């Protein structure tokens, strides 16, 4: 101490300059001090438990910020819109690991519906094109048909006329003639029924008017054949048939056989067409219903949050009128919804402050401060730090004021307030040293300042008193 005293007395100006430079450096160190409320204030960061916890937080995120939204009804659209606004404002901020909320699920559903709708409309377009092509082909077949497969109705009419003329010349019969006529009579009756059925089925098709008229003529001629054969059956004394009549009958039977096959084919085609048109009618009805739903919820088919409350209800409740399982985890109760903001493991206090301020500013802008509770450990730590700073400021100001009063009233010496000035230098030097050494300000380290002030003021009063004695 004698050497230090000698040095100070020998170089007083240099000592003051050196002291001033040291104080400037310590004051800069004060700006480096950090408030700490994390796990590192309770356990050493060199332990395995602390390092494992840090690795877990870096992989899966840190403690989350939780927002509780009050609502009158479950999944109220106004609450969801407010939640979406908050999420849009904070999702690009640094320090956020993930956001879990109904809005996140709705956005995922919206993207999925958009992709499904795009694929569905593409398939619908292809299907309609194919349907159009098939209907065009069907129309061509029904209107024009294949001439080689159509019956020669003109030849059939000529043969029937020959049959009517020739039946007057019949005066003899063959052995098996009446048996053949019986079979022919039954065939003609069946043919008449088939033609009537065909007439009924094709009446609704305006493109087959010509075929319908020819079919009616054929039915009339068939009735004439039926009457002629019946008359033949009554003439038991027939002994012979002219060659012309025999040839006409043979041609008639061949033509009727061909006509029967063609009419059967046409009947099967018409039945197939009827089934196809019925199926097409059902499918087009379903397509119309689906398109109506697309029109109703059109804003859902955009990659983003829908703007229609009806669409939100459709996404959340579906067709069962019950909340989908994926949304149940966000329900606190019937009047509250939860939104969770998971932070990065290495998030800084400044990033947490930016996230919190963004949320609060948005709530104030919407006038919804009373409807949303912002909580979670990061917010609690932030409140603790803020409270610690306010408490320390209050403590320091109160201590200085009390010491000034005591010194003025009790300490009757020259420059009686000098201890206060020197104690403030000591406090600044201590805090600055903590800043340069990266020693955080915790609830434990804050206890240093009352002790420092209490002991420092006593020691400096004694030092100043001894100085005054030596000076006297």
Average pLDDT over residues 32-45: 74
Has residue 46 got a pLDDT over 60? yes
374 band by pLDDT with thresholds 50, 70 and 90? very high
More confident residue, 420 or 188: 420
Lowest mean pLDDT among 234-248, 333-347, 368-382: 234-248
pLDDT tens-place string over residues 13-23: 999 999 999 99
Contact 149, 262 (CB under 8 A): yes
More confident residue, 405 or 261: 405
58 beta partners: none
H runs (alpha helix) in 91-148: 102-143
Lowest mean pLDDT among 216-225, 321-330, 413-422, 441-450: 216-225
What is the maximal distance between C-alpha atoms in the chain? 179
Has residue 338 got a pLDDT over 60? yes
Distance between CA atoms of residues 308 and 287, nearest Å: 23
Has residue 170 got a pLDDT over 50? no
The pLDDT score that the predictor gives to residue 167 is: 40
Has residue 445 got a pLDDT over 70? yes
Distance between CA atoms of residues 270 and 14, nearest Å: 118
372 band by pLDDT with thresholds 50, 70 and 90? very high
Has residue 30 got a pLDDT over 90? no
Lowest mean pLDDT among 96-110, 158-172, 368-382: 158-172
As a whole number, the mean pLDDT across the chain is: 75
Distance between CA atoms of residues 226 and 240, nearest Å: 21
386 Cα distance to chain centroid: 40
Strand-strand pairing, 96-100 and 336-343 = antiparallel
More confident residue, 396 or 198: 396
pLDDT tens-place string over residues 226-247: 566 566 556 555 445 556 666 6
Bin 302: left if φ > 0, else alpha if -120 < ψ < 50, else beta. beta
Q: Which run of H or E residues covers position 336?
A: strand 336-343
Has residue 407 got a pLDDT over 80? yes
Contact 228, 167 (CB under 8 A): yes
Least Cα distance to 164 among 228, 116, 211, 121 occurs for 228
Distance between CA atoms of residues 167 and 229, nearest Å: 9
170 Cα distance to chain centroid: 88
The pLDDT score that the predictor gives to residue 242 is: 59
- Residue 17, number of CB atoms within 10 A of its CB: 11
The pLDDT score that the predictor gives to residue 174 is: 34
277 band by pLDDT with thresholds 50, 70 and 90? low
Has residue 275 got a pLDDT over 60? yes
Q: How many helices (H) and strands (E) does the chain have?
A: 15, 5
pLDDT tens-place string over residues 447-466: 888 888 888 888 888 888 88
The listed range with the strongest mean pLDDT (190-199, 269-278, 427-436) is: 427-436
Lowest mean pLDDT among 19-28, 134-143, 304-313, 356-365: 134-143
Has residue 69 got a pLDDT over 70? yes
The pLDDT score that the predictor gives to residue 334 is: 85
pLDDT tens-place string over residues 132-158: 666 566 556 555 555 444 444 444 444
Average pLDDT over residues 377-402: 85
Distance between CA atoms of residues 13 and 11, nearest Å: 6
Least Cα distance to 453 among 413, 398, 408 occurs for 398
Taking each helix axis as running N to C, give the angle between helix 102-143 and helix 243-296, from 0 to 180 degrees, rounded to the nearest 10.
160
The pLDDT score that the predictor gives to residue 85 is: 92
The pLDDT score that the predictor gives to residue 149 is: 44
pLDDT tens-place string over residues 189-224: 554 565 456 556 555 555 555 554 555 555 555 566
Least Cα distance to 67 among 353, 363, 344 occurs for 363
């Amino acid at each position: 101490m004698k050497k230090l005293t000698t040095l100070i007395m020998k170089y007083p100006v240099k000592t003051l300059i050196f002291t001033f430079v040291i104080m400037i450096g310590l004051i800069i160190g004060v700006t480096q001090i950090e408030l700490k409320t994390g796990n590192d204030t309770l356990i050493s960061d060199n332990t395995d438990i602390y390092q494992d916890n840090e690795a877990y937080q870096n992989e899966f995120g840190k403690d989350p910020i939780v927002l509780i939204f009050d609502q009158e009804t479950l999944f109220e659209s106004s609450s969801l819109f407010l939640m979406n606004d908050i999420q849009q404002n904070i999702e690009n901020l640094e320090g956020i690991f993930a956001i879990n909320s109904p809005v996140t699920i709705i956005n995922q559903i919206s993207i999925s519906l958009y992709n499904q709708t795009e694929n569905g409309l593409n398939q619908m377009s292809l299907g309609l094109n194919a349907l159009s092509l098939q209907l065009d082909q069907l129309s061509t077949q029904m209107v024009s048909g294949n001439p080689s497969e159509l019956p020669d109705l003109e030849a059939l009419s000529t043969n029937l006329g020959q049959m009517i003329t020739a039946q007057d010349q019949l005066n003899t019969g063959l052995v098996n003639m009446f048996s053949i006529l019986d079979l022919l009579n039954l065939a003609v009756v069946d043919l008449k029924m088939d033609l009537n059925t065909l007439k009924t089925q094709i009446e609704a098709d305006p493109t087959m008017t010509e075929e319908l008229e020819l079919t009616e003529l054929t039915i009339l001629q068939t009735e004439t054949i039926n009457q002629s054969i019946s008359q033949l059956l009554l003439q038991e004394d027939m002994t012979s048939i002219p060659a012309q009549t025999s040839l006409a009958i043979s041609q008639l039977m061949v033509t009727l056989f061909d006509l029967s096959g063609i009419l059967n084919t046409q009947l099967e085609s018409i039945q197939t067409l009827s089934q196809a048109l019925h199926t097409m009618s059902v499918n087009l009805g379903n397509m119309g219903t689906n398109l109506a739903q697309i029109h109703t919820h059109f804003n859902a088919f955009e990659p983003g949050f829908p703007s229609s409350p009806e669409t939100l209800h459709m996404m959340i409740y579906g067709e069962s009128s019950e909340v989908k399982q994926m949304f149940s985890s966000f329900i606190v109760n019937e009047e509250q919804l939860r939104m969770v903001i998971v932070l990065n493991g290495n998030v800084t206090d400044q990033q947490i402050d930016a996230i919190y301020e963004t949320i609060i500013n948005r709530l104030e802008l919407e006038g919804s401060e009373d409807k949303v509770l912002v909580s979670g450990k990061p917010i609690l730590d932030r409140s603790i730090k803020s409270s610690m700073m306010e408490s320390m400021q209050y403590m320091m100001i109160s201590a200085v004021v009390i010491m000034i009063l005591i010194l003025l009233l009790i300490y009757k010496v020259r420059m009686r307030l000098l201890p206060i000035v020197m104690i403030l230098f000591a406090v600044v030097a201590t805090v600055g040293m903590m800043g340069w050494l990266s020693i955080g300000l915790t609830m434990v380290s804050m206890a240093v300042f009352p002790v420092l002030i209490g002991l420092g003021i006593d020691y400096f009063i004694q030092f100043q008193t001894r100085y005054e004695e030596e000076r006297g």
